[in-house]
Structure 1
Amino acid sequence: MTQKIKVSELPEFDMAEHLTSDEDIAQYLALVIDENDPALLAAALGDIARARGMTQIAQASGLTREALYKALRPGAQPRFDTVQRVCTALGVRLTAVLA
C-alpha cells in the first residue's frame, strides 16, 4: 500500500542551499535572465545573496541587510542601480548578447 504524503509535510525547497559554486551561480543566473522576468531576477539575486551571505553582500553593495532583503524578495521590482550594486557585490556581471 502506498502511503500518502501531505504537501504540508514536504520540506521547503531553498535554491540558496544548492548554489555551492561560482559555476552553479552563473548557470542559475543565466537561466533566470533568459526568462525575461524582472521579479524573478530579483528573487534569484536574493537566492544568490543568501547563498553567499546576506550580511556580507549587503556590506559590499552599500545597502542595509533589511533594504537588501526587501529589494530582493520574490515579486520585488528593484531599481536597476540596486541590481547593479548587488551584482557587483556578488562578483557577477550582466551582459547583453544578440538573441
Structure 2
Amino acid sequence: MKDRSHDEAMAELFKEDPAFAAEYLNQLLQDGEPADLLVALRQMAQAHGGVRALAREAELNANQLYRMLSSQGNPELRSLSAVLQALGLRLAVQVAPTPQQQPRAAAA
C-alpha cells in the first residue's frame, strides 16, 4: 500500500464527493480560520488537476491563483467566486442563528 500525504487524501475525497467538499467549506467558513479555507481550496485545486488547470478553468492567472491560495493569500471576492465556480461550487449567504435560535442539546 502506497503512503499518501494528508493533502493527497483530502484531494481524493473532495474529488469523489463534491457534496462533502461543499459542506467542508461551509464548516470552515462558519468555524474555521481563513488559512484553513485556503488549505482546503489548495487541496480541491489538486483534486481538479492542479492550480494551473484550475486557473485556466476559472479564467485566472495561474501565478495570481498560487498567491491567492498561499498561506498569506487574501482572495478577492471575484477571484474566490471564479475558483468556486470552476470547482462546481458557489458562495451563498445564510442568516446566522441567534443564541435563541440555536438547537438545544438533548437533556441527559
TM-score normalized by the length of structure 2: 0.68
Q: Distance in 2 between matches of 1:30 and 1:79?
A: 18
- For residue 88 of structure 1, report the CA deviation from its aligned partner: 1.2
2:66 to 65, 69, 85: 69
Q: Distance in 2 between matches of 1:74 and 1:16?
A: 18
Q: What percentage of residue pairs aligned between the two structures are identical? A: 31
- Can you give the 5+ residue segments of structure 1 that lack an aligned partner in the other structure? 1-10
Map of 2:30 onto structure 1: 34
Could you give the per-residue CA deviations for residues 20-40 of structure 1, whole angstroms, max 9, x where no partner exists?
221221121111111253333
Map of 2:12 onto structure 1: 17
Q: Distance in 1 between matches of 2:49 and 2:31?
A: 25
CA RMSD of aligned residues (A): 2.1
Relative contact order higher in (CA < 8 Å, ≥ 6 apart): 1
Instruction: Report how many residues are paired.
Output: 90
Q: Is the 8 A contact 1:43 1:75 kept in 2?
A: no
Q: Distance in 2 between matches of 1:50 and 1:56?
A: 9
TM-score normalized by the length of structure 1: 0.73
Q: Is the 8 A contact 1:39 1:77 kept in 2?
A: no
Shift >4 Å, 4+ stretches: none
1:82 to 64, 79, 84: 79
